């Protein structure tokens, strides 16, 4: 698994947030109402989700800072209801909420001390992790959803170190659940997914390998040019 430092994650989170904010800058209702790259979600849904994610991660920052248990979301149903409600807000409200939530998160993160960074919090998926995972969770959301905005940002715009770390993270999380024996290689790196059946080898640019692993549109094919096997959803 790829090693990543807290400094890496902080810089990727900042880069992803910047890309995301630049992509939506100046958007009015028309641009916001266009579909995102995620099935069934307009860009309004996606921006509402990314703003709500920053606030949810602020809850984890508070948990790390104070020791008081403050989960990301009160429930999965509440999380979904908040996204649906967020999608009814105006373009201006969404842009403001995007910026303000990102700012709250940046301020909260900047105030954490060394002992607080080591304290444990629980993610929305129920994993217990040190607070140092918070910037990694944010970089994943900001970077991948910047691509999902369907506004010209591609995986090639994301930091290369982030892409390598993300490939390792997804492979580790998918584990055997993909059900396919897969070997992926890109730019000197290699990832193995265990599974049944004849092993399939896929080789391509890092950007395509990551897009494939993340379940996003990609151009990865097997050596004989047939389409890469479909993977179950990730996240
Ligand atoms: Zn998300």
**Are 205 and 113 contained in the same domain?**
no
Q: In the structure encoding, which two tokens stand for residue 105, read together?
A: 């998160």
Domain stops at, among 132, 153, 174: 153
- pLDDT tens digit sequence for 117-171: 999 999 998 999 999 999 999 999 999 999 999 999 999 999 999 999 999 999 9
pTM of this structure: 0.94
pLDDT bucket at 28, cuts 50 / 70 / 90: very high
- pLDDT tens digit sequence for 48-57: 999 999 999 9
**Are 116 and 173 contained in the same domain?**
no
**Are 143 and 159 contained in the same domain?**
no
**Number of structural domains found in the chain:** 2
How many angstroms does the Cα of residue 195 sit away from the middle of ligand 1?
27
The rounded mean pLDDT for the chain is 93
How many angstroms does the Cα of residue 223 sit away from the middle of ligand 1?
32
**Are 12 and 123 contained in the same domain?**
yes
Residue 103 has pLDDT above 80, yes or no: yes
**Are 25 and 86 contained in the same domain?**
yes
How far is the first Cα of the chain from the last one, in angstroms, to the nearest whole number? 19
Q: Would you say residue 1 lies in a domain?
A: no
How many angstroms does the Cα of residue 82 sit away from the middle of ligand 1?
13
Phi/psi-derived region of residue 122, left when phi > 0, alpha when psi is between -120 and 50, beta in every other case: beta
Residue 1 has pLDDT above 80, yes or no: no
How many angstroms does the Cα of residue 41 sit away from the middle of ligand 1?
12
How many angstroms does the Cα of residue 194 sit away from the middle of ligand 1?
26
How many angstroms does the Cα of residue 226 sit away from the middle of ligand 1?
30
**Are 145 and 31 contained in the same domain?**
yes
How many angstroms does the Cα of residue 188 sit away from the middle of ligand 1?
29
**Number of C-beta neighbours around residue 125 at 10 A:** 10
**Are 194 and 96 contained in the same domain?**
no
How many angstroms does the Cα of residue 126 sit away from the middle of ligand 1?
15
65 or 222: which leads in pLDDT = 65
**Are 124 and 184 contained in the same domain?**
no
The CATH number linked to 212 is: 3.30.1050.20
**Are 75 and 159 contained in the same domain?**
no
How many angstroms does the Cα of residue 1 sit away from the middle of ligand 1?
22
**Are 166 and 149 contained in the same domain?**
no
Domain stops at, among 94, 119, 153: 153
**Are 63 and 10 contained in the same domain?**
yes
Q: Which domain holds residue 163?
A: 155-235
Mean of pLDDT values over 34-60: 97
The CATH number linked to 116 is: 1.20.120.450
Helices 43-66/133-148 angle, 10° precision: 180
Burial 49-85 (b: 16+ CB within 10 A, else e): bbbbbbbbbbbbbebbbeeeebebbeeeeebeebbee
């Amino acid at each position: 698994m790829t090693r990543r430092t807290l400094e890496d994650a902080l810089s990727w989170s900042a880069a992803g947030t910047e890309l995301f904010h630049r992509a939506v800058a100046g958007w009015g209702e028309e641009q916001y109402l266009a579909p995102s790259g995620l099935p069934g979600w307009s860009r309004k849904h996606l921006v509402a989700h990314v703003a709500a994610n920053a606030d949810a991660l602020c809850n984890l920052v508070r948990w790390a800072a104070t020791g008081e248990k403050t989960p990301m979301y009160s429930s999965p149903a509440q999380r979904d209801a908040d996204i649906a409600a967020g999608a009814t807000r105006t373009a201006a409200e969404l842009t403001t909420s995007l910026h303000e939530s990102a700012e709250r998160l940046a301020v909260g993160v900047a105030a954490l001390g060394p002992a607080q960074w080591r304290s444990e919090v629980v993610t929305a998926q129920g994993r217990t992790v040190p607070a140092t995972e918070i910037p990694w969770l944010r970089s994943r959301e900001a970077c991948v959803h910047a691509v999902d905005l369907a506004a010209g940002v591609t995986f090639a715009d994301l930091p290369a170190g982030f892409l390598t770390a993300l490939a390792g993270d997804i492979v580790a999380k998918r584990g055997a659940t993909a059900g396919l024996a897969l070997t992926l290689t890109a730019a000197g790196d290699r990832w193995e997914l265990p599974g049944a059946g004849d092993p399939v080898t896929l080789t391509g640019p890092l950007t395509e390998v990551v897009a494939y692993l993340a379940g996003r549109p990609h151009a990865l094919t097997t050596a004989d040019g047939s389409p890469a096997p479909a993977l179950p959803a990730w996240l």
